[in-house]
Structure 1
Amino acid sequence: MAIEKESVKLNLSNELIKAACIVSMKAHDHNQDYVTTSSFTEVLIIAFKGSMAVNDLYDGDHFGETNVDSSVFPSLQRIGEGQLAKVNGPVLLKFINLLNNSGFKYEVEKAVNKNKKILFTGHSFGGAIANLATLWMLDEYTRKQNIKLPFGCVTFGSPLIGDGTLTHAVRREKWTGHFTQFVMEHDIVPRMMLAPKTSVKEHLSDILELILQQKANRVTIDPNQAKDFLENVLVNASTVANHDAFDLMEPTNSLKERLSSDFIKVSPYRPFGIYVFCTRAEDLGANAPRQQLVVENPNAVMQLLFYFLQLPNEDQDLDQFALQSLTDNFSYEQELNNNGLRLENLVYLKNLNIDLWTSNGTTGEAVRTSNQALFELNASAKWCLLAAEEAEKRKKDNENQIKENMRKYKSDQTKIKAKIIEDLLDEVRNYKQKQGDGENDYYEAFKLQNEYVDFQANVNRLEQAKIWDVIIEMVMRKDLPDEFEVWDELVALGTCFRRLYEPLDIANYYRHAKGDGYLAVRPKRYKFTQRWYEHKNVTRFELVSESNFVAEVEELMKEVIKPKNKTIEEIKQGFESITKKVNERICDEKIVNEDVFWGKYILSKLQEKLV
């Protein structure tokens, strides 16, 4: 099931899946928060215990989401905006307590030191903890410490725990292949967090207790309670699925945003990782072997979570179906014993435009046989799945268009590649060198605008600003693939652009004597490109960077000329702080580059005024 070559992950086997499922179920009966198994000498399996207490699932009356702790999960955000992902608050708190107050970290570190593979696992809400543990390890070990240790996460009937930003971050970092989420076709637990607490609280405590007691077959579930619970979850799942489907088909429609934000609060939770839906074709009977439908596209997963929870046909008894949606949560071990959860049964959902609607021909019939559960979906479901696939293609087309515009041929005859952005960068590099050969530097020359070359440089600056503003706008509208912001060439070009052009923007800003300080109105094209660079180099965001510190110098210069907010001592301290930071950056191998403007001329001018 290894999907992404870029990640080092644990390759699953039938034996590992079986061991993970068994120990996940056993974890429910243990007093401690997790259990380990030594069934495999080369693999450490850590299974987490779930909870069925209402307070451990919901915080408040709605969905209980909260921002992730950026010190524990620094990658779980949209890089450019600095927008943190939201996760289930009680589940996050439980994991943080586990991280701080148990031997969990010791178990992990011991396995790492022995170069053992690690498999995190959990059933139901234990799977939610397993997902967070894996995300923590990816950030802590893979990104921070650059340890390429194979590990992964397998869950069984896990609820959704994070929002779309978390999904985006997982795909951006190419971590999808680390997560395998098994879901029985009608299991209600993976869908229940799509409903707010207010809509299900009447039966929630009883239902959670009933689900937990099913494992020992100690209770008979009230069909009316089960039906009411299913209907409430299904209604809210429908709202989320329709909301997302509309977004896929009409991505630029602002009416949807206004309606959803003003009148409808939909669940923030969205799927991530690889989902394996354990399905059974209805016309083959209850004893037929299950087909395991593998889905990577999170938008397609969201649609299937909703459509697979609906009645398969009108003749199905609703009470019976509702009971099945509850009992399915504890049927994973039984399915395992029936050889259902095996890698040989995997069917990959892909190429929907080619396969999903095909009914004639050899290929179509083969697809119909293997993907029977898909062909039983109604037309609306199929259209939503197609929209999910088309949305990904549209984003990829947008990315290819940007790359093409960066690689226009200067001459059709010579076929010499000349990147538009790099051409403009070279022009401003020449301008910087030429203006730096005289008494001033390119910053001061651009600020004065005394020569025609200064005017040309300003035209160049505006052209570059337009290119990057369009790119940033597309990123913010989510019109590009999730991994776009970590594309090496983009990060490199963005860094060169920021270091060469931001001083010119600052010079232009203070040339026109604007009111507020520059940093208060700093353009997104510089914030985003800076964040991309810092994310790639695993460093924290700095408000004052190597490309904009001159704005701080300008503010101190204004205070010297016309004191307003600072005393002379405070100005001197500010100057010393900036000078020290500049000298540190001059010695930093990651920052030293011909494109960086060190502001020596304006720093010396400020120093003269302070003497």
Structure 2
Amino acid sequence: MNQVPWFSSGRELGNLIVASNIINCAWTKIHELQRDQTALPCPVRHEVYKPSPKCTVVAFVSLPDCTQYPLPGQGDLVPSPLFDFLRTEEYPVSINRAALTLFTSRHDHLSGLKTQLTEIEGQLIITGHSLGGSVASLFTLCLLDANILKPKCRPICITFGSPLIGGFGLQHSIWNSFFLHVVSNQDPVPGLFLPSGRSPPTSSHSQTTGYKPFGTYLLCSELGCACFDNPDLILGLLKVISSEVAGGFKDVDYGEILRNLKERAICKGLPQVGERFADPLSAGIIMELETIGFNQTKLLQHNIDINTVISTMEEEARNLTQKNKDSGAKKLNKIKIDMARLEWYKKNPKVLNMGYYDCFKIKGSKTDLKVEGFSEFLTDYWKDMVAQVQRKPQKEGATFRTRWLYAGTVYRRMVEPLEIAAFYGEGGKDYMKNKRSAHYKLLQQWYEEDVKPPSRDKLDSKKQKVSSILTEDSCFWAHVEEAILSCELLKSENCTLEQGKSSWDNLVKFEEYVMEQINNYAVSPEIFLGESSFMKWWGLYEGYIDTCSNSHRSPLISFMKNGSDRLYG
């Protein structure tokens, strides 16, 4: 049975945050910059502060006109090459036009700021108010992408009253959150660019369009505060705040709010939910919403059903629990066991004078059927792993690939030959075009992007270990099978002149390919076993060379007569 959390900890987390110095430090520096009359009167300004030797604060503020009098089109979501690194295979990334305009207007200055921050030590806080907070978020994303900060200097972005800056693509691409957004229930700016209307936050309408929140939200009222990270609930609450705050835009004193919240957190002055909910998780969520000024009556007025919200959060928790269970130690242990079984299977067929590729192709024993079962499990696992990389931003995906690339390469070299054997064993043709899975192509592409050409020392090292290597090209046997088909076509009475020329050209290319693999010690000795498909091809090809009138001199002849025993004996 899948478990869900017993309690909701949003109030406790909120109290912990407001009682800490980090959030007060961030707002203090924003306030200092806002009072600085010597700063240039540009739409967005920033300043670097050093409140202590081990803490650096970069504060951003924008002119009030940017939010109080928004221009037509400022709320549009638009693509930007500056944030292409966040794109995924499934969803494009678009940014709020107003925030993007402010960010690009300071791009040169911010490029210099990035260089300056490479030298700092300790905690880095990126913070901003209103649209200055939007610019702070975009700048933090660029810092995370550039990966230029010292290892122990990870940025934390804290915004105050900042509008949403992106859609579903941005929300989906940020898989490690470094963002905390502080929002007062009296501040309409966070919902500035949201469309009017009262659609439920958990409805299926427009799930992948429009503005979407990301990171953690600290929602505040005169009664207290609570943290939320459920994006649908956050979106619904921001819409309610935006629609209910009367009198247009006004200054919200986040400094005063933080002082009151800190006192309240220390004194534990929080309301109680009573006996309305026996379930502690439901009770906790109700208390958190009431703490920030949202009772059930107000929520229902805006078509937000608290029971639906709770059910959605419980389902998310179940899915997360199941995901963690599926990707836990038990699953990883099974993967290791199955790879060990494949290694054993690879070594065993040599007593039949053929490698595991040909043994699996003919499927002459029950063991072959068992191998088919656990190779399918491995393939499902790696397809999912590759899909995860595709859903991540480029930089994060690159880190992920580096961590898993070796294991993925061993899997590809071990398992893909089995798929090739099954394909040609059933009479298939042109595996590369008609059958090869996309996840194999990507694993190979990432490996080739990462690996460097072998040096002479590395070749010498490979030569010493050649007796135990895996064939490096996981599609080697597909090339062998196509070469066999070309030989058979050449010997066929129905072979046309054009087909013959094409088949011969393919065989010459294959021969060159084989010699390259041999010279780089990139093929396993098992290809030379007497009953292997490679030796079948060589028998056909050698006989064709001996009988035809073509003057072609095969570079493989001398190697097959002498070199194979010397290097692979």
TM-score normalised by the chain length of structure 2:
0.63
Provide the rounded CA distance (Å) in 2 between the counterparts of 1:444 and 1:462. Answer: 18
Instruction: Indicate the residue corresponding to 1:415 in structure 2.
Output: none
Pair 1:295-2:302 in alignment:
no
Instruction: Indicate the residue corresponding to 2:455 in structure 1.
Output: none
Q: 1:390 deviation in Å?
A: 0.9
Instruction: Indicate the residue corresponding to 1:18 in structure 2.
Output: 28
Provide the rounded CA distance (Å) in 1 between the counterparts of 2:481 and 2:449. Answer: 30
Q: 1:574 deviation in Å?
A: 8.2
- Aligned pair count reads 470
- 1:24-72 Cα deviation digits (max 9, x unpaired): 687996337542133525344333465566477355xxx43568744x4
Cα RMSD after superposing both structures: 5.5
Q: 1:193 deviation in Å?
A: 3.5
2:293 match: secondary structure: helix
Match of 1:373 among 293, 315, 337: 293
Provide the rounded CA distance (Å) in 1 between the counterparts of 2:116 and 2:364. Answer: 66
Instruction: Indicate the residue corresponding to 1:130 in structure 2.
Output: 136
2:126 match: secondary structure: strand
Provide the rounded CA distance (Å) in 2 between the counterparts of 1:538 and 1:346. Answer: 52
Q: 1:395 deviation in Å?
A: 0.9
Instruction: Indicate the residue corresponding to 1:306 in structure 2.
Output: 239
Q: 1:168 deviation in Å?
A: 3.8
Pair 1:36-2:53 in alignment:
no
Matches within 5 A, 1:198-237: 233-235=195-197
AA at the equivalent of 1:167: Q
AA at the equivalent of 2:247: L
Matches within 5 A, 1:385-464: 385-402=309-326, 406=330, 419-436=333-350, 439-462=353-376, 464=378
Pair 1:166-2:170 in alignment:
yes
Match of 1:152 among 145, 151, 156: 156
Instruction: Indicate the residue corresponding to 1:86 in structure 2.
Output: 93
- 1:516-555 Cα deviation digits (max 9, x unpaired): 6446654466578x49x969x9969xxxx96744377368
- 1:357-409 Cα deviation digits (max 9, x unpaired): 54999x979958982624354353422431342132121232255257936xx
Match of 2:479 among 553, 576, 596: 553
Provide the rounded CA distance (Å) in 1 between the counterparts of 2:511 and 2:263. Answer: 67
Provide the rounded CA distance (Å) in 2 between the counterparts of 1:436 and 1:355. Answer: 74
- 1:304-323 Cα deviation digits (max 9, x unpaired): 22344454xxxxxxxxx443
- 1:553-572 Cα deviation digits (max 9, x unpaired): 36874895568897977886
AA at the equivalent of 1:303: G
Q: Does the CA contact (< 8 Å) of 1:159 and 1:191 recur in 2?
A: yes
Matches within 5 A, 1:425-574: 425-436=339-350, 439-462=353-376, 464=378, 497-514=411-428, 517-518=431-432, 521-523=435-437, 530=443, 548-550=474-476, 553=479, 557=483, 561=487
**Would the alpha carbon gap of residues 492 and 129 (structure 1) be closer, same or farther in structure 2, given more than 3 Å must change?**
same
- 1:127-157 Cα deviation digits (max 9, x unpaired): 2221122122223227xx7723132111122
Instruction: Indicate the residue corresponding to 2:560 in structure 1.
Output: none
Provide the rounded CA distance (Å) in 1 between the counterparts of 2:239 and 2:366. Answer: 63
**Would the alpha carbon gap of residues 19 and 344 (structure 1) be closer, same or farther in structure 2, given more than 3 Å must change?**
farther
**Would the alpha carbon gap of residues 265 and 136 (structure 1) be closer, same or farther in structure 2, given more than 3 Å must change?**
same
Q: Does the CA contact (< 8 Å) of 1:66 and 1:88 recur in 2?
A: yes
AA at the equivalent of 1:23: L
Provide the rounded CA distance (Å) in 2 between the counterparts of 1:234 and 1:598. Answer: 70
**Would the alpha carbon gap of residues 307 and 525 (structure 1) be closer, same or farther in structure 2, given more than 3 Å must change?**
farther
2:340 match: secondary structure: helix
What runs of 5+ residues in structure 1 fail to find an aligned partner? 4-9, 195-232, 248-259, 280-288, 312-320, 348-353, 408-417, 587-595
**Would the alpha carbon gap of residues 487 and 64 (structure 1) be closer, same or farther in structure 2, given more than 3 Å must change?**
closer
Q: 1:275 deviation in Å?
A: 0.8
Instruction: Indicate the residue corresponding to 1:64 in structure 2.
Output: 78
Provide the rounded CA distance (Å) in 2 between the counterparts of 1:424 and 1:166. Answer: 37
Q: Does the CA contact (< 8 Å) of 1:95 and 1:133 recur in 2?
A: no
Q: Does the CA contact (< 8 Å) of 2:23 and 2:158 recur in 1?
A: no
**Would the alpha carbon gap of residues 461 and 367 (structure 1) be closer, same or farther in structure 2, given more than 3 Å must change?**
closer
**Would the alpha carbon gap of residues 510 and 426 (structure 1) be closer, same or farther in structure 2, given more than 3 Å must change?**
same
- 1:436-493 Cα deviation digits (max 9, x unpaired): 5664432233234355543442344345556777999999999xxx99x979999997
Provide the rounded CA distance (Å) in 1 between the counterparts of 2:224 and 2:516. Answer: 64
Match of 1:47 among 59, 68, 73: 59
TM-score normalised by the chain length of structure 1:
0.59
**Would the alpha carbon gap of residues 360 and 438 (structure 1) be closer, same or farther in structure 2, given more than 3 Å must change?**
closer
AA at the equivalent of 1:45: V
Q: 1:423 deviation in Å?
A: 3.7
**Would the alpha carbon gap of residues 68 and 498 (structure 1) be closer, same or farther in structure 2, given more than 3 Å must change?**
farther
Provide the rounded CA distance (Å) in 2 between the counterparts of 1:295 and 1:358. Answer: 20
AA at the equivalent of 1:550: F
Q: 1:160 deviation in Å?
A: 1.9
Q: Does the CA contact (< 8 Å) of 1:91 and 1:129 recur in 2?
A: no
What runs of 5+ residues in structure 2 fail to find an aligned partner? 1-9, 14-19, 267-272, 452-470, 490-497, 542-553, 556-569
- 1:217-259 Cα deviation digits (max 9, x unpaired): xxxxxxxxxxxxxxxx231xx44x44xx145xxxxxxxxxxxx
- 1:189-233 Cα deviation digits (max 9, x unpaired): 322443xxxxxxxxxxxxxxxxxxxxxxxxxxxxxxxxxxxxxx2
Instruction: Indicate the residue corresponding to 1:182 in structure 2.
Output: 182
Structure 1 window deviating more from structure 2 (562-571 vs 156-165): it is 562-571
2:311 match: secondary structure: helix
AA at the equivalent of 1:269: Y
Instruction: Indicate the residue corresponding to 2:216 in structure 1.
Output: 274
Q: Does the CA contact (< 8 Å) of 1:88 and 1:161 recur in 2?
A: yes
Provide the rounded CA distance (Å) in 1 between the counterparts of 2:80 and 2:526. Answer: 42
Provide the rounded CA distance (Å) in 1 between the counterparts of 2:208 and 2:327. Answer: 36
Q: Does the CA contact (< 8 Å) of 2:30 and 2:129 recur in 1?
A: no
**Aligned residues with identical type, % of pairs:** 18
**Would the alpha carbon gap of residues 575 and 360 (structure 1) be closer, same or farther in structure 2, given more than 3 Å must change?**
closer
Structure 1 window deviating more from structure 2 (31-40 vs 502-511): it is 31-40
**Would the alpha carbon gap of residues 552 and 389 (structure 1) be closer, same or farther in structure 2, given more than 3 Å must change?**
same
Q: 1:276 deviation in Å?
A: 1.4
Q: 1:95 deviation in Å?
A: 7.9
Q: Does the CA contact (< 8 Å) of 1:443 and 1:503 recur in 2?
A: yes
AA at the equivalent of 2:144: L
**Would the alpha carbon gap of residues 183 and 356 (structure 1) be closer, same or farther in structure 2, given more than 3 Å must change?**
farther
